[in-house]
Structure formats: C-alpha cells, structure tokens
C-alpha cells in the first residue's frame, strides 16, 4: 500500500523546480503504473512517501507535434494516445503496434512513455520502438533560476538497469524522433503469460524499400529483454542495406547479432526466439511491398548459418 502526506500537482516547470527545493522526501509520478504495483504486499509492501509530485499537468510537457520529418511528443504522453491517434497510426506504424502489446486498456490509459523509459527496465517494450525511430531525449533542468535544455540520443540516455542520464534536478521532458511515413513496421514479443506480460524477448523493426520494392533501402531493428540495455542490431541493419529482399539475405542477417544476448537464464531459448523474431519482424515490415515464402523456420538452415557466421 502506498501512503503519503502531500500530493503536489505543479502547473509549470518553474513551480516544479521550486517544489524540488522546498520538499525533501518525495517521489515523482506520472502514470503511477510502476509505483503502485511496487507498493504492494509481496514486493515493497507498505510504502510511505512524505511528498508525491505529479508532473502530468505541467504545461511545458503538453506537447504533441507531428511534422513531415520529425515528431515531438511529451514524456507524459500515454501509450493509449499512441495507440489511438489517427496520424500516428497512419505514419508511425511501429508505435500503435507496441502500444497494443503494452499491458491492457486501463494501464495504457495511465502509463506514460517517459515513465517507461526512465524506469529503464531491460524488458521495457517502448524503448526498442523508440530506438528504431532514432529517438532523442529532451531533458530540462534549472540552474540559477534559468531553465535549460539538453538533448541526448536515447541509446546514450539509458545507462543500465534503472539508470538514466538525468543529473541533479533534471526531468525527461519529451522525445523527438523520426517520422517514418512510408516505412513498414513490426513489433514481436513473448513472455511467460498471455496477457499483462513482461518481455522475455521483444523485437522492433521499421523498414523501407527502394522505389522498385525489391531492395532494402533502410532497415532498423532493436531488441529488449535479452540484455541489460535495449539496443539496435547494427550488424543486421548494415548487412541488409541495399540488398535484395529475399529469404536468403534475411536468413543470413538474422544470425549476425545473436551475440547481443546477455542473459543468465534460458540462453538457448532466447537465442532461438530472437532469431525467429528478427526474421518475422523484417518480413512483416516489407510485406506490403513483397511476399516472402514462410519456410524460414527450417532449423537445419538456421543451424548451418550459425556455423558459417560463428
């Protein structure tokens, strides 16, 4: 159970930074979907925090801009917003695909993208998708009454399990990322349950073909759940750049980054799932342009390719 004495709802960043100076024992909240499960019997149990600071009404964090080449959304944007917004569904297809996998309807209405990122869970669903969009973290802080802004690429912002690059009184204000209009997308995820599932392996992919629809023009793949920090699969992406879209190239690409797995349990299982997810995500991402035969799960082929690339 979570107990507190004071619940503050600042309306501006200046008011927020003033609060940080005035109060001592505090917890910063947005959707509260991580804190409430933590403050329950069997985990943290009875949790007492003197002061709670709710950042969801800060006017500077009310941001949702979609431009031709970039989108900029506040850290307090909910996953339900990403799931239902018509422009997002049309142009940035990976975000609604991630969102539909994210917990359930009620939690999506509360859970924020900023909370998901700052929590920095190795199994965080949102991070791989944002990585494939080349997301940058927009950070705001205050020094000598002056509010400043700094920008850090998302892959540098996450430093480890539950560790991010926020210094002093800084707050994650927004994300700026590519508008992937014209790209296909796919999000693949597996866990121990059918619903409300924490990822054992998840893969995000966005891909664009050339004008002929026969060659890979741009492929971006990211993974979480198999290592401490989610990451892009750079060798896979580089290998496919400019290559013909066919079963052979996709199968060869699928084994190049399996060494990113850094998990202490179920290693072989995660390796097999990761490779199959890479294959499936790439195929789904270009499926509007070209049809690939679905005989890529031939384990004999996979084993031989692993031996070649070992």
What total number of domains does the chain contain?
3
User: Which tokens hold the place of 221?
Assistant: 């793949």
Pairing of strands 158-160, 64-66: unpaired
What's the confidence (pLDDT) of residue 252?
96
In tens, the pLDDT along 93-131 reads 999 999 987 767 777 888 899 988 998 888 888 999 999
Q: What's the whole-number mean pLDDT along residues 256-272?
A: 87
User: Which tokens hold the place of 166?
Assistant: 């926020």
Are residue 144 and residue 168 in the same domain, yes or no?
yes
Domain span holding position 224: 184-309
What's the confidence (pLDDT) of residue 125?
87
Instruction: Please identify, among 178, 195, 217, the residue that sits at the C-terminal boundary of a domain.
Output: 178
Instruction: Please identify, among 126, 152, 178, the residue that sits at the C-terminal boundary of a domain.
Output: 178
What's the confidence (pLDDT) of residue 308?
40
Judged by average pLDDT, the poorest of 160-164, 187-191, 271-275, 292-296 is: 292-296
What's the confidence (pLDDT) of residue 309?
39
39 vs 278: which has the higher pLDDT: 278
What's the confidence (pLDDT) of residue 299?
52
Pairing of strands 47-54, 26-29: parallel
Instruction: Please identify, among 128, 149, 178, the residue that sits at the C-terminal boundary of a domain.
Output: 178
Are residue 115 and residue 161 in the same domain, yes or no?
yes
DSSP percent split of the chain into helix, strand, coil, nearest 5: 35, 30, 35
Task: Establish how many alpha carbons lie within 13 A of residue 263's alpha carbon, considering only the half-sphere containing its beta carbon.
Answer: 21
How large a percentage of the chain has pLDDT more than 70? Answer: 85
125 vs 151: which has the higher pLDDT: 151
In tens, the pLDDT along 271-309 reads 999 999 999 999 999 987 666 655 544 554 544 444 443
C-alpha 124 chain-centroid distance? 6
CA distance 97 to 88: 11
Q: pLDDT band at 142, cuts 50/70/90?
A: very high
What's the confidence (pLDDT) of residue 156?
97
Q: Diameter of the chain by CA atoms? A: 64
Per-residue pLDDT for 75 more than 80?
A: yes
CATH code at position 149: 3.30.465.10
In tens, the pLDDT along 204-242 reads 999 999 999 999 999 999 999 899 999 999 999 999 999
Residue 26's SS3 state is strand
User: Which tokens hold the place of 71?
Assistant: 């989108």
How large a percentage of the chain has pLDDT more than 90? Answer: 65
- Give the CA-trace dihedral at 268, 200, 98, 252, to 10 degrees: -10
Are residue 170 and residue 146 in the same domain, yes or no?
yes
Are residue 144 and residue 209 in the same domain, yes or no?
no
Average pLDDT, the chain: 87
Gap between the terminal Cα atoms of the chain: 50
């Amino acid at each position: 159970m979570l107990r507190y004495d004071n619940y503050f709802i600042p309306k501006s960043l200046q008011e927020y930074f003033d609060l940080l100076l005035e109060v001592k024992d505090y917890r910063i909240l947005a959707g509260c979907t991580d804190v409430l499960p933590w403050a329950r019997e069997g985990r943290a149990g009875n949790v007492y925090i003197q002061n709670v600071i709710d950042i969801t009404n800060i006017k500077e964090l009310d941001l949702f801009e979609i431009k031709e080449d970039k989108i900029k959304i506040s850290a307090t944007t909910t996953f339900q917003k990403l799931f239902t917004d018509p422009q997002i569904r049309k142009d940035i297809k990976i975000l609604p695909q991630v969102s539909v996998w994210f917990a359930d309807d009620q939690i999506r209405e509360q859970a924020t993208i900023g909370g998901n990122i700052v929590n920095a869970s190795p199994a965080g669903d949102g991070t791989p998708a944002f990585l494939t969009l080349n997301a940058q973290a927009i950070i705001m802080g205050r020094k000598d009454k002056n509010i400043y802004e700094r920008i850090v690429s998302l892959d540098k912002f996450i430093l480890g399990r539950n560790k991010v690059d926020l210094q002093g009184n800084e707050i994650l204000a927004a994300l700026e990322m590519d508008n992937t209009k014209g790209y296909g997308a796919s999000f693949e995820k597996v866990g121990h349950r059918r619903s409300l599932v924490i990822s054992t392996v998840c893969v995000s992919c966005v891909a664009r073909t050339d004008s002929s629809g026969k060659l890979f023009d741009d492929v971006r793949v990211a993974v979480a759940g198999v290592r401490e920090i989610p990451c892009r699969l750079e060798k896979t992406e580089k290998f496919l750049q400019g290559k013909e879209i066919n079963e052979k190239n996709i199968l060869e690409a699928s084994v190049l980054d399996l060494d990113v797995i850094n998990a202490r349990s179920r290693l072989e299982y995660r390796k097999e799932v990761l490779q199959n997810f890479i294959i499936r995500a790439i195929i789904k991402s270009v499926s509007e342009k070209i049809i690939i035969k679905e005989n890529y799960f031939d384990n004999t082929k996979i084993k031989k390719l692993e031996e070649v690339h070992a």
